[in-house]
Amino acid sequence: MIEAVKVGELVIDHNISPRAGMDFAHVGVLKNALLAGVAFPPIVAERSTGRIVDGLHRCKAYTQLWGEGHEIEVDFRDYADETELFLAAVEANNAHGLRYSTYDRRRILVEAEKRGISRDVISSVLKMPVEKADKKILDGSAFVKTPAGVRQRVPLRTGMKKLAGRDLSKKQEEANKKTGMKAEYHCDALIALLRAGLLTWGSKNVVAMCGSLHKELDKRLERLAS
């Protein structure tokens, strides 16, 4: 059933969101499209809770342009349980719009395993062979200890893939939450910026962070040399 509701009445539940986070560059693209007069399809949400199933980036675009009181069309649907709701969100976001990143797919596979969803089912929803899904989760995940002491699988960012299958330390777990591309990419980018004069035109905060990086590198390179 499609109804007109205020965008602020919808609920964002990251537990059912198939994506790792908000892509604000994509939100910007959607905002420009809206300002150009493009009409988007209705947001899909769960009827009983108002949780967004499909259209999180569109909702953010509406909110940033016109506020939470802006009325939009919402397609309210019913779901049998949390598993059906999660699968619906994965399938809807895989069918159109912003493509899943490699990390998104790893995250979805790990979350499906955690929810007891078979590899056959989640592979079908993601439209990938089961063998590829098996390899993706084995080569792209590691383990952490929960506060209750349970060993739990987590998806790895690209820069952390060398740790696949291992138990992460606390520092490695924190790094995995922040690291994106491979270390080579970050090193190359920073070297290029330094050669372009980053320390002269960068902010005080950037200069201070470069100083901290210098100290960390000095300590660790000395250990490698000894």
Domains in the chain: boundaries: 1-99, 100-179, 183-225
pLDDT at 168 (0 to 100):
97
Give bridge partners of residue 154 from the DSSP assignment: 142
pTM: 0.86
> How high is the pLDDT of residue 99?
87
Going by C-alpha positions, the residue among 190, 191, 162, 193 that lies closest to residue 176 is 162
pLDDT above 80: residue 97: no
**What is the four-CA torsion angle of 79, 85, 88, 94, rounded to 10 degrees?**
160
Output the average pLDDT for the chain: 94
Q: CATH second-level architecture of 1-99?
A: Alpha-Beta Complex (3.90)
Among candidates 24, 86, 17, which has minimal Cα distance to 55?
A: 17
DSSP secondary structure letters along 64-126: HHH-TT-EEEEEEE--SSHHHHHHHHHHHHHHSSSPPPHHHHHHHHHHHHHTT--HHHHHHHH
Least confident of 2-11, 62-71, 88-97: 88-97
Percent of the chain with pLDDT over 70: 99
75 φ, ψ (degrees, to nearest 5): -95, 100
Determine the Cα–Cα distance for residues 97 and 133; give it in Å rounded to an integer. 22
Copy the structure tokens of residue 63. Answer: 């909110």
Q: Identify the pLDDT of residue 123.
A: 96
> pLDDT tens for residues 156-174?
999 999 999 999 999 999 9
Q: How distant, in Å, are the alpha carbons of 87, 124, 144 from that of 148?
A: 28, 33, 11
- Does the structure show a pLDDT above 90 at 9? yes
CA atoms within 13 A on the CB side of 62: 24
Alpha-carbon separation of residue 225 from 4, 187, 217, 221 (angstroms)? 66, 20, 12, 6
Rounded to whole angstroms, how far apart are CA atoms 35 and 67? 14
Name the pLDDT band for 2 (thresholds 50, 70, 90).
very high
- Reported as a single tens digit per residue, the pLDDT across 212-224 is 999 999 999 988 8
pLDDT at 180: 80
Instruction: Answer whether residue 96 shows pLDDT above 80.
Output: no
The residues with which 22 forms a beta bridge, in sequence order, are none
CB burial readout 9-39, b (16+ within 10 A) else e: ebeebeebbbbbeebeeebeebbeebeeeee
pLDDT at 194 over 80: yes
